[in-house]
Amino acid sequence: MLSAGDFRNGMTIEIDANVYQIVEFQHVKPGKGAAFVRTKLKDIKNGGVVERTFRPTEKFPQAHIDRKDMQYLYADGDLFNFMDTESYEQVALSKDIVGDALKFVKENEMVKVCSHNGNVFSIEPPLFVELEISDTEPGFKGDTATGASKPATVETGAQVSVPLFVNTGDKIKIDTRTGEYLSRV
């Protein structure tokens, strides 16, 4: 059991049969009255953020989140197939669980499958990926002074904003959390 006074960012707790991750917390000691803990909690199943306050003595069970490395195999309609590289067990997950997590992930790449009590609730792609530009317009000479960018499509079909000097066929590095171009490879 975890008391509200011990909260830290990133911890996961169970409240009313829901699992929440602590996004932000603040211990408040008003001049009058008892101290309390103000928090922002993210529901890990649906992604919603809730603000709640707790007394520092309230206790909650800590939720254990399993993050397992799995290989993304292929998409089959609305199902995405993953394989555990240790046991070779395959899992098919629906589009509503996966969401946009695989936007920058190619087939046969490793991802983290997050679950709680055996129920998968999200996919974490690698932080950085290297992808090839499959389509972009050529940049015009003289346009580089402003640090301008242009839209480009990568091999997974996702849209990325890249600098004008990047051409079709170039390999680039992308931050999967923000979808930003980082560098050419």
- Check whether residue 17 and residue 45 sit in a common domain: yes
State the total domains in the chain: 3
- Check whether residue 47 and residue 80 sit in a common domain: no
- Check whether residue 120 and residue 138 sit in a common domain: no
The torsion region of residue 11 among left (phi > 0), alpha (psi -120 to 50) and beta comes to beta
CATH number for the domain spanning 175: value is 2.40.50.140
- Check whether residue 139 and residue 104 sit in a common domain: no
Single residue among 79, 103, 124 that ends a domain in this structure: 124
Q: What is the pLDDT of residue 83?
A: 92
| Dist. CA 14–CA 12, nearest whole Å | 7
- Check whether residue 6 and residue 51 sit in a common domain: yes
Single residue among 32, 60, 88 that ends a domain in this structure: 60
CATH number for the domain spanning 29: value is 2.30.30.30
What is the residue range of 137's domain? Answer: 128-184
Q: What is the pLDDT of residue 143?
A: 55
Single residue among 96, 124, 152 that ends a domain in this structure: 124
| Dist. CA 33–CA 29, nearest whole Å | 8
- Check whether residue 81 and residue 55 sit in a common domain: no
Q: What is the pLDDT of residue 142?
A: 60
Strand intervals (E) in 36-109: 36-43, 49-54, 59-60, 66-76, 79-84, 90-94
Instruction: Chunk the chain into consecutive blocks of 10 residues (it has 185) and report each block's average pLDDT, rounded to whole numbers.
Output: 85 86 89 90 83 90 87 89 90 83 87 84 86 84 68 89 87 88 87
Q: What is the pLDDT of residue 166?
A: 85
Contact indicator for 3, 59 with CB cutoff of 8 Å: yes
| Dist. CA 71–CA 81, nearest whole Å | 9
- Check whether residue 78 and residue 46 sit in a common domain: no
Q: What is the pLDDT of residue 40?
A: 92
- Check whether residue 132 and residue 118 sit in a common domain: no
- Check whether residue 119 and residue 135 sit in a common domain: no
